[in-house]
Structure 1
Amino acid sequence: MDDTASLLSLADRMLWVTALVAAPVLLASLAVGLVVGVIQAATSVNEQTLTFVPKLAVIALVLVVFGASMLGLIGDFTQQIFEQIAQVSR
């Protein structure tokens, strides 16, 4: 039963880390898409590349700003997983 609890705890932490890493990119993309969509609706300009280029630029900016903390979060989680593997194998 202890193995099941530790696996569920690991899965729970994995989902939280995934959500924390993906959230900045997804929220920025959502916000830019919403703003561009409103502008397109107001001006009746329906160009597909008009939504792609600003999203791409904002996602690149978000990755530059938050990339180090995202990689740090993933690195810490990976280190914790390997420490748990070492403790289980003893």
Structure 2
Amino acid sequence: MIIRIFGEGQYRVTDSHLEELNELDAVLQKTVDQGDEESFTLALRELLETVRRLGSPLPSDVLAPSELVLPDEDTTLDEVKELLSSEGLIPG
């Protein structure tokens, strides 16, 4: 799957990592629901760092359709709250 991080680029991540990403997404959603800004910042950073670690960056001159789009690290709790669906940022 292709995951885009706003303002950064795209990463190819194998579907076998979806469960790990969903676990991190659940933690992120919990912090948003609680309104805990500090924990939210840490959870978002961990999710993005995991995508970077598990994924292979696509060259900047390649634009492929993204299955998932994640906010960058500067996105606020309120902004992410508006992006969340009932399944979080990562469906599944």
Instruction: Sort the TM-score into its range (normalised by shorter chain).
Output: 0.3 to 0.5
Q: Which has the higher strand share?
A: 2
TM-score w.r.t. length of structure 1: 0.36
Q: Which has the higher helix share?
A: 1
Q: Between the two structures, name the one with larger relative contact order (CA 8 Å, sep ≥ 6).
A: 2
TM-score w.r.t. length of structure 2: 0.35
